[in-house]
Amino acid sequence: MQALKIVVTGCYSAGKTHFIRTLSDIETVSTDYAVTLDEERQLKRETTVALDFGTIAINEHLNLYLFGTPGQERFDFMWEHLSIGCLGYVVMVDSTRPGHFAETQRLMDRFAEITDAPFVVAANKQDDPAALPVSYVRRRLSVPLSVPVLSCTATDRPSAKLVLLGLLKQIAARHQESYPQQA
């Protein structure tokens, strides 16, 4: 069995674990532990400290693996390991927490240093009527127009599928740039 890997990253409580759970064929493997910091506990009770792991079987020979990174910056040493060999990555951002935008920008800069793989930004929690619009999220994160910023509700499978398909289109476009004769 061969494996392809996509990384799902984003800062704390962005919805990475939900995104993987929503898409995975299998019961996801999570390494969640009780939150210890008071300010983090206000957002969620458990957090991912190593990785989340889900799979989508493409066929009998090939699996697409979804790896979720731990959100807190103090676990950023994991990001480099998880990004090795990835086809592309999804940056999840909580559209109802503008206070997380600066940290998400730092995370995006760090990933750009680690890998040149294609990526998309998923503006999560768009099912909340109070959520910030995708255009505002793009502007605040300074995402260039060449990178899609996609509306996302991580708990909703059709929405999560569109984000993953958006990333696959970016991967296909990168492939076409590299190998135009195969187009």
Partner 1 sequence: MALEGTLQDMSLSDLLQIFRLGPKSGILVLNGGDERGVIYVAEGRLVDAALMHTDRSVSAVQEEAVIRMLLWENAAFIFRHDLAVCQRPSKISHDSEWIVMEGMRRRDDPARALPYHTLSLDTQLQLSPLPSSAENGVSLDVNQWRILSQVPSCPNLRTICEATGIPPAQAIRTIAELMAIGLVEVVIPHVPKPRPQQRPAAPAGMLQAGTLEPGFAGAVATAMGGAPDTPQVGRGLIDAIMRRVRGL
Which residues would be at the binding site for partner 1 (CB under 8 A)? 2-5, 23, 56-59, 61-62, 64, 80, 84-87, 96-99, 101-102, 109, 112-117, 128-133, 135-136, 139-140, 142-144, 157, 161, 164-165, 168-169, 171-172, 175-176, 178-179, 182-183
In angstroms, what is the minimal distance from the CB of 3 to partner 1? Answer: 5
Can you tell me the distance from the alpha carbon of 124 to that of 39, in angstroms, rounded to the nearest whole number?
Answer: 21
Q: Any residues with CB less than 8 A from the CB of 91 and at least 6 apart, and which?
A: 9, 10, 104, 107, 108, 111, 119, 120, 121, 122
In angstroms, what is the minimal distance from the CB of 49 to partner 1? Answer: 20
Nearer to partner 1, 30 or 55 (CB): 55
Closest CA to 56 of 117, 122, 4: 4
b/e per residue, 129-166, with b = 16+ CB within 10 A? Answer: eebbebeebbeebebeeeebbbbbbbeeeebbebbbeb
In angstroms, what is the minimal distance from the CB of 55 to partner 1? Answer: 11
Tokens 């390494």: give the residue: 31
Nearer to partner 1, 71 or 89 (CB): 89
Nearer to partner 1, 17 or 119 (CB): 119
In angstroms, what is the minimal distance from the CB of 159 to partner 1? Answer: 12
Nearer to partner 1, 33 or 102 (CB): 102
Can you tell me the distance from the alpha carbon of 46 to that of 8, in angstroms, rounded to the nearest whole number?
Answer: 18
